[in-house]
Amino acid sequence: MNSPNAPPPIERVLFTAEQIDARVREVAAQISADFAGRELKLVAVLKGSVFFLTALARHITVPLRVDFLAISHFTNQPGAPGVVRIAKDLDDAIEGEHVLLVEDIVDTGFTTRYLLQNLAGRGPASLGLCTLLDRTSRRIARTPINYSCFEIPDRFVVGFGLDHKQLYRNLDCIAVIRPE
Amino acid sequence: MAIISVSGDPGCAHEDLARAIAQRTGCELVTRSELEEMIAADFGNQQIPDRAWPPLLRSAIGRLAVNRHVVYSLEGGERLFHGFPGVLCVLLIASPARRIGAVMVDRQVDREAARRFLRQREIEVLAECKRRFGRGHSRLHEFDLILNDHQQSPEMLASVVEAAIQSRGLLEQGTLSAAAEAQVQFLARLQLAKFGLTPPDRAPAERNGFGHPTEEIFARLLDFYRIEWQYEPRSFPLQWDKDGHVMEAFTPDFFLPAFDLYVELTTMKQALVTKKNRKIRLLRTIYPHVNIQVFYQKDIQDLIVKYELAERASAH
């Protein structure tokens, strides 16, 4: 555990708070235009996507609802769940609704593919994906991304919801951390 | 022995269910492509008549079931071991909306295209089953368990199948005895003889001997996300001598059929990967249709950090 007083091990800032704000506004405007005249449901994945969801939702101008889900996470420990499953499901059904899955980062695409498959099976009128960060260099599962704020290099990043050992989610920028 | 057959209409998550059952019960998952590769390894490029497939599949699965419990997902698979003790046949059904939704995501197409694709697949599967088994449609009474995946995850459904396996004591009865396997092979040989095919006595069925612990972790990660994988299924010749003998080849670590993608993991330091990079460049030049993704040491370290594999699970 890092010392509470230790500064974040930031190597460099990739995107400042101002850059993030400007880009989120652009993407929100695009979403508002695409869904004009319709009602939208934003579905965010706990926990990392919450910061992006709130920033995005504030700038979207069409009527919208939000809902959350969480999934089990992979661990190599004995006795851990063997396959991915929904750990916290949506509160409401999405059948017939226009749904936008909001992700903090799409990396290998494993998690996003699983979530999209799961949501698609619930009969939404449409299903799209909006991500804050898109790291294409490690993509395995091809994932259709409708809205992406930033493409990032092959580095481990934190901030704006992304963590390292649950820390640094509250950074207002997106930064590369120094490897330990 | 336990031989678990999992079937379902196109667009059902029956392969995911088979994988989840394997995870929960410790049975070994045998995919359709693995079975087809076993048969191809036995018979090379020899043309296999359609009606020879059932005894060939029985022979291949029988050989695997000698020293492990097996779960397989195959269209018409419930007909392979009908009446055998120790066999559980599971059918997964799903609403058209759910199946269409799955195709929309998998193939990244709109609803109408998904509907057309599904219809086409249904026609193809029916035709294949008819050619191979003599009839297209399955008969419901041939299944021991019929599950509806509406609002239920493969994990939940797998727990139902696990309960059925336990209630019948399938795992406690041991794997296929030598005598029973001999009977399976004898019957298969008898049926195959009229097609001029002779299966081998024993398959070299030991699989998944990973070359590095990282590969095993990666395989578990793929299992976690229910992504079908094959370990080192193919070598690609890269250089030949003047007589056509292969001088150099490259064998990627994994093949992921769902994405038509090979994955190579390298744990060497970045400075030492030059030779491997050269091979990968050559592979991409000689086989431009082959998709390959390389994970370098840094990528693997990031995955280890992301999933906190050295310590505990985390939510990123």
Do residues B104 and B29 share a domain? Answer: yes
Determine the pLDDT at residue B102. Answer: 82
Query: What does the buried/exposed string (b/e) look like for B62-79 if buried means 16 or more CB atoms within 10 Å of the residue's CB?
Result: bbbbbebbbbbbbbbbbb
Determine the pLDDT at residue A156. Answer: 85
Query: Mean of the per-residue pLDDT values for chain B?
Result: 80
Q: Do A163 and B155 touch (CB under 8 A)?
A: no
Starting at the earlier edge strand, list the strands of the sheet with A157-158. Answer: A10-15, A174-177, A157-158
Do residues B149 and B245 share a domain? Answer: no
The 10s digit of each residue's pLDDT in B245-291 is 888 888 898 988 888 899 988 876 666 677 788 888 889 989 989 99
CB of A75 within 8 Å of any CB in chain B? yes
The 10s digit of each residue's pLDDT in B85-112 is 788 999 999 888 888 888 887 777 888 8
What is the arithmetic mean of pLDDT over A102-129? 90
The 10s digit of each residue's pLDDT in A116-137 is 988 888 889 999 999 999 998 8
pLDDT of A80 strictly over 70: no
Would B203 be classed as within a structural domain? no
| Residue B169 binned pLDDT confidence (cut-offs 50, 70, 90) | confident
Do residues B153 and B236 share a domain? Answer: no
| Residue B40 binned pLDDT confidence (cut-offs 50, 70, 90) | confident
Do residues B159 and B50 share a domain? Answer: yes
**Which chain B residue lies closest to A72 (C-alpha atoms)?**
B315
CB of B224 within 8 Å of any CB in chain A? yes
The 10s digit of each residue's pLDDT in A153-176 is 888 899 999 988 888 899 999 999
pLDDT of A4 strictly over 60: no
Determine the pLDDT at residue A1. Answer: 47
Do residues B172 and B244 share a domain? Answer: no
Would B12 be classed as within a structural domain? yes
Cβ partners under 8 Å of residue B213, min gap 6: none
| Residue A146 binned pLDDT confidence (cut-offs 50, 70, 90) | very high
Q: Mapping DSSP to helix (H, G, I), strand (E, B) and coil, where does residue A116 land?
A: helix
The 10s digit of each residue's pLDDT in B291-307 is 998 888 777 777 766 66
Please list the alpha-helical segments (H only) found in A36-141: 50-59, 110-120
- Residue holding tokens 């101008």? A61
- Residue holding tokens 């005249």? A37
Q: What is the CATH number of the domain that holds B138?
A: 3.40.50.300
The 10s digit of each residue's pLDDT in A34-79 is 999 999 999 999 999 999 999 999 999 999 999 999 988 776 665 5
Do residues B187 and B285 share a domain? Answer: no
Would A105 be classed as within a structural domain? yes
Cβ within 8 Å of B, A 80-119 = 80-86, 104-105, 107-108, 110-111, 113-114, 116-118
Assign residue B45 a region: left if phi > 0, alpha if psi is -120 to 50, beta otherwise?
A: alpha
Determine the pLDDT at residue B151. Answer: 66
Residue B213: its H or E element? helix B213-224
Predicted ipTM of the assembly: 0.81
Q: CB atoms < 10 A from the CB of B18, how many?
A: 32
pLDDT of B116 strictly over 80: yes
Domain boundary among B137, B163, B193: B193
Contacts of A140 in chain B (CB under 8 A): 256, 259, 261, 263, 293
What is the arithmetic mean of pLDDT over A135-147? 88
Determine the pLDDT at residue B55. Answer: 85
Would B91 be classed as within a structural domain? yes
Do residues B175 and B41 share a domain? Answer: yes
Q: Do B105 and A82 touch (CB under 8 A)?
A: no
Q: Mapping DSSP to helix (H, G, I), strand (E, B) and coil, where does residue A149 land?
A: strand
Cβ partners under 8 Å of residue A5, min gap 6: none
> Could you tell me if A117 and B154 are in contact, meaning their C-beta atoms sit under 8 angstroms apart?
no
* Rounded Cα–Cα distance for residues A180 and A15 (Å): 22
Cβ within 8 Å of A, B 71-90 = none
| Residue B203 binned pLDDT confidence (cut-offs 50, 70, 90) | very low
- How close B83 comes to chain A (CA, Å)? 31
Q: What is the CATH number of the domain that holds A66?
A: 3.40.50.2020
* Rounded Cα–Cα distance for residues A160 and A55 (Å): 10
Nearest by CB: B313 against A75, A108, A110: A75
Among B98, B103, B106, B99, which residue's Cα sits nearest to residue B114? B103
Q: Do B314 and A107 touch (CB under 8 A)?
A: no
Determine the pLDDT at residue B38. Answer: 78
Domain that holds residue A114: 18-70+93-155
Would A39 be classed as within a structural domain? yes
Q: What residue type is assigned to position B26 of the chain?
A: G
Partnered with residue A132 across adjacent β-strands are none
Domain that holds residue B136: 3-193
The angle subtended at Cα B32 by Cα B139 and Cα B36, nearest 5°, is: 120
Do residues B163 and B226 share a domain? Answer: no
Catalytic residues of A: 107
pLDDT of A17 strictly over 60: yes
Do residues B280 and B166 share a domain? Answer: no
What is the arithmetic mean of pLDDT over A13-17? 94
Residue B286: its H or E element? helix B274-286
The 10s digit of each residue's pLDDT in B206-260 is 445 677 777 887 888 887 887 888 888 888 888 888 887 888 888 898 988 888 8
Give B109's DSSP letter.
-
Residue B179 CA: distances (Å) to CA of A122, A148, B186, B311: 48, 60, 10, 47
Contacts of B217 in chain A (CB under 8 A): 76
Q: Mapping DSSP to helix (H, G, I), strand (E, B) and coil, where does residue B154 land?
A: helix
> How many structural domains does chain B have?
2
Determine the pLDDT at residue A2. Answer: 52
Q: What is the CA radius of gyration of chain B?
A: 21
Determine the pLDDT at residue A26. Answer: 97
Partnered with residue B92 across adjacent β-strands are B8, B147
* Rounded Cα–Cα distance for residues A84 and B210 (Å): 23
Cβ partners under 8 Å of residue B230, min gap 6: B31, B33, B34, B37, B254, B255, B256, B257
Residues A27-30: contacts with CB within 8 Å, 24+ apart?
Answer: A27/A56, A27/A130, A27/A147, A27/A148, A27/A149, A28/A56, A28/A58, A28/A59, A28/A60, A28/A61, A29/A59, A30/A147
Would B74 be classed as within a structural domain? yes
Specify which of A59-68, B6-15, B140-149, B195-204 reaches the highest per-range mean pLDDT: A59-68
Determine the pLDDT at residue B312. Answer: 33
Determine the pLDDT at residue A49. Answer: 95
Q: Do A117 and B105 touch (CB under 8 A)?
A: yes
